[in-house]
Amino acid sequence: SLSDSLDKSFRNLRGVGKISEKNITDALRDIRIALLEADVEFGVAKELIARVKDASMGEEVLKSIKPGEQIVKLFQDELTRVLGGDNVPLDLNPPARILMVGLNGAGKTTTSAKLARRLQKEGRRPLLVACDLYRPAAVDQLVTLAGQVNVPVFAPERGETDVIKVAREAISFGEREGATVLIFDTAGRQEIDEKLIKELIELNKFLQPKETLLVADAATGQQAVSVATHFDEAVGITGIVLTKLDGDARGGAALSMREVTGKPIKYAGEGEKLDQLIEFHPSRMADRILGMGDIVSMVESVADKVNEEDAMRSMKRMQEGKFDFNDFLDQMKMIQNLGPLEGLLGLMPGFNKIKKQLPAGALDTSKLKKTEAIVLSMTPQERARPEIIKASRRQRIAAGSGTSMQQVNQLIKQFAEMRKMMKNPGKMKNMMKAMGGGG
């Protein structure tokens, strides 16, 4: 049961546990859950886990007294290796041509401008070429972005539909203007369709680009594999750009696409601004996908400052869905030793999603005193069973704590949200497991 595995994790945390094949199996099962939660494609997750399982069976791991930590670390290393493999600089030997491909909304046009800006900063002379002829607005968008980064752009006449013609004209324009690298922005579709792929195949054949970059949203879910395979089979991608890493997505798509195509991840988009295209960091991505690296550091920082037994007891109550306002009060006392609450909670996977649902300033430490006053004005029964706190009780609590009904309502609502998050078995289990190995 969950609580048995929890007890075992605690023993491991104290360093009395001995690693067994079961330890490995348990840790890998939880890693599998973490991968699937990050939207890594099922087959890819399975394959990676099998690989690490073989590696973990080695002697080094068996000697460890902290098996959970050791296995998570091994897995993180493997992910880093897989994600970072084969990454070489873009091939920009003349004629340097970069073809940007991907689904609609993935970020091709934005990334084209970002890339042009980067290359220009490196002392090259880029030319942006608008080959998305399906929407007139697409050409205008590229022209605008090109202006913002101060890079020349080749834009076809309105109504032009022949991409090959546009490409040919752009190449002569580039030659006349002394451009040293051409970046071709293309049309995308919501779903991959035949017409789009046919056009891309023709454009690719005509351009013979040295680089064909698949631009993909980090939030691409299970379809990542089919998208990457489709584009790779059609035009032979040379690399991947992962966009929107500034969002909440854990980014399992990166791993899926990397595994199925074998093509390196070249860059990461971290915002809408045109300077927000960075080198891809495989180890950061591995931490993010696994969602455990941060937890390990949280466990370490908490363990320094908080009584371990107390922390474990309240963790256990969280997991069992029994966490109430009495525990909350205990935790607030601990938090006073810990510094900003948001910083600590921010280390929990999935927390960013929760945060969006909370009222503004809800996590402000300066408000903790008020929160504490509200909880102290509750009776022990109310703290144990928040659901009994109806309107008349709320009025009394507000009066008793010198706050308003609205503030009381807000806290109770917020608490209910927090409880819901804590009861999420997948997230909690990963966290408990990481704690088991992380002390």
| Contact indicator for 235, 184 with CB cutoff of 8 Å | no
- Name which of Mg ion, ligand GDP, none residue 104 binds, using a CB cut-off of 5 to 8 Å depending on partner kind: ligand GDP
Q: Smallest distance from the beta carbon of 132 to Mg ion, in angstroms? A: 5
Nearer to ligand GDP by C-beta: 48 or 145? 145
**380 upstream amide cis, omega within 30 of 0:** no
Q: Does 248 bind ligand GDP (CB under 6 A)?
A: no
Q: According to the annotation, is 251 in a ligand binding site?
A: no
Residue whose structure tokens are 């525990």: 327
Q: Where does residue 148 rank: exposed (0-12), middle (13-18), buried (19+ CB within 10 A)?
A: exposed
269 binds, among ligand GDP, Mg ion, none (CB under 5 to 8 A by kind): ligand GDP
Q: Which residues have CB under 8 Å from 325's CB, separation 6+?
A: 375, 378, 382, 383, 384, 386, 415
Question: Which of ligand GDP, Mg ion, none interacts with 270 (beta carbon under 5 to 8 A by kind)?
Answer: ligand GDP
**Residue 243 assigned to a binding site:** yes
Q: How many residues bind Mg ion (CB under 5 A)?
A: 3
Q: How far is the CB of 288 from Mg ion (least distance, A)?
A: 26
Q: Which is nearer to Mg ion, 127 or 138 (CB)?
A: 138
Q: Which of 76, 204, 238, 243 binds ligand GDP (CB under 6 A)?
A: 243
Residue 15, both tokens? 């360093």
Helix, strand, coil % (nearest 5) of the chain?
A: 60, 10, 30
- Residue ranges of alpha helices (H) inside 85-162 are 108-121, 136-149
**Distance in Å, CB of 270 to ligand GDP, minimum:** 6
Q: Is 112 in the site for Mg ion (CB under 5 A)?
A: no
Match 């068996």 to its residue by tokens: 62
Q: Which CB sits closer to ligand GDP, 204 or 243?
A: 243
Annotated binding residue at 261?
no
What's the min distance (Å) between Cβ of 232 and Mg ion?
Answer: 20
The answer to whether the annotation marks 321 as part of a ligand binding site is no
Residue 209 touches which of Mg ion, ligand GDP, none (Cβ within 5-8 Å per kind) = none
Is 246 near ligand GDP (CB under 6 A)? Answer: yes
Q: Of 86, 272, 275, 279, which one interacts with ligand GDP (CB under 6 A)?
A: 272
Residue 105 as a binder of ligand GDP (CB under 6 A): the answer is: yes
Instruction: State how far the Cα of 434 lies from the Cα of 439, in Å rounded to an integer.
Output: 9
State how far the Cα of 160 lies from the Cα of 130, in Å rounded to an integer.
11
Exactly one of 68, 102, 239, 251 binds ligand GDP (CB under 6 A); that residue is 102
- 282 belongs to the binding site for ligand GDP (CB under 6 A): no
C-beta contacts of 414-421 below 8 A and 24+ residues apart: 414/358, 414/359, 414/362, 415/325, 415/328, 415/386, 416/386, 417/354, 417/357, 417/358, 418/354, 419/321, 419/323, 421/350, 421/351, 421/354
71 CB-contact burial (10 Å; exposed 0-12 / middle 13-18 / buried 19+): buried
Q: Give the range of 137-145, 164-172, 316-324, 416-424 binding Mg ion by CB under 5 A.
A: 137-145
Count Cβ atoms within 10 A of the Cβ of residue 276 and give its class: 0-12 exposed, 13-18 middle, 19 or more buried.
middle
The listed partner (Mg ion, ligand GDP, none) that binds 243, CB under 5 to 8 Å by sort, is: ligand GDP
Q: Rounded distance, CA 323 to CA 422, Å?
A: 8
Write out the H or E segment, with its range, that includes residue 254: helix 252-261
Give me the least distance between CB of 45 and ligand GDP, in Å please: 25
Give me the half-sphere count of Cα atoms (radius 13 Å) on the Cβ side of residue 331: 20
Minimal distance, residue 102 CB to ligand GDP, in Å: 6
Q: Which residues bind ligand GDP (CB under 6 A)?
A: 102, 104-110, 188, 215, 243-244, 246, 269-272
Give the residue numbers of the binding site: 102-109, 185-189, 243-246
Give the residue numbers of the binding site for GTP: 102-109, 185-189, 243-246
